Amino acid sequence: MKTFLSLFFVTLFVWNVRGSDTLSYWIKKQNLNDLKATYIEAVICPRPLSTRFYLEIDFGQERGFLSFSDRRLAYYDGMYVEFNSRMAALNFMVDLGYEILDNQYLFDSEGDVSSQRFLMKKQTKTKEDVRY
């Protein structure tokens, strides 16, 4: 029984470590790293009744009728990615290799910022290739 439990925990540990380094982000069943689109539109939206934000990405994909969340950034298991602030979401996209070309603030009826929209382009050169 001890060997079975030991083997079980070792297998669970190895499986958990192997899965942790394969973190990937998805938009409507398409891997964000595999996008062929050069330009994307990233919209940072507040989560209702929360202080957190989510990210909607439009790269030209087809939207389903009455599917409001098919552009939202998610993990492989379908859980949506949430950010602590708008800057955290923006820094996330810059870390993935996108640069900002233009931005736009969207306001609600009370005059508060409801979301931010960014036109972004996939960088052709990595940060290591840039010389100053």
For the chain, what are the domain ranges? 23-129
DSSP structure string for 24-83? -EEETTEEGGG---SEEEEEEEEPTTSS-EEEEEESSPPPPTT-SSTTB-EETTSPBPEE
The 10s digit of each residue's pLDDT in 97-122 is 999 999 998 888 888 878 889 999 99
Predicted pLDDT of residue 93: 94
Q: Nearest Cα to 96, choosing from 66, 61, 46, 57?
A: 57
Average pLDDT, the chain: 81
Give the sign of the dihedral formed by CA 26, CA 29, CA 31, CA 32.
Answer: negative
pTM: 0.70
Assess contact for 14 and 6: CB atoms under 8 A.
no
Predicted pLDDT of residue 38: 92
The 10s digit of each residue's pLDDT in 46-82 is 888 999 999 999 998 877 776 666 789 999 888 999 9
Assess contact for 50 and 128: CB atoms under 8 A.
no
Q: Determine how many CB atoms are found less than 10 A away from the CB of residue 116.
A: 17
Quote the CA–CA distance of 92 and 117 in Å, as a whole number: 15
Quote the CA–CA distance of 88 and 86 in Å, as a whole number: 5
